[in-house]
Amino acid sequence: MNDKDLILNEVREHHEQLSVENKMGWRFLLMTLLILAIAWLLLFPKIYLQSQVYYKSRDIAVLTGEYNALKEENRILKTKVESIRFKNQVLDTMFEE
- Rg over alpha carbons for the chain, rounded to the nearest Å, is 41
79 pLDDT exceeds 60? yes
CA 9 to chain CA centroid, nearest Å: 59
pLDDT in tens, 50-74: 999 999 999 999 999 999 999 999 9
24 pLDDT exceeds 80? no
Q: Return the percent helix, strand and coil in the chain, to nearest 5.
A: 95, 0, 5
Quick one: average pLDDT of 2-7? 78
CA 41/CA 47 separation, integer angstroms: 11
Q: List the domain boundaries for the chain.
A: 2-96
Decide which of 95 and 11 is more confident.
Answer: 11
Give this prediction's pTM.
0.53
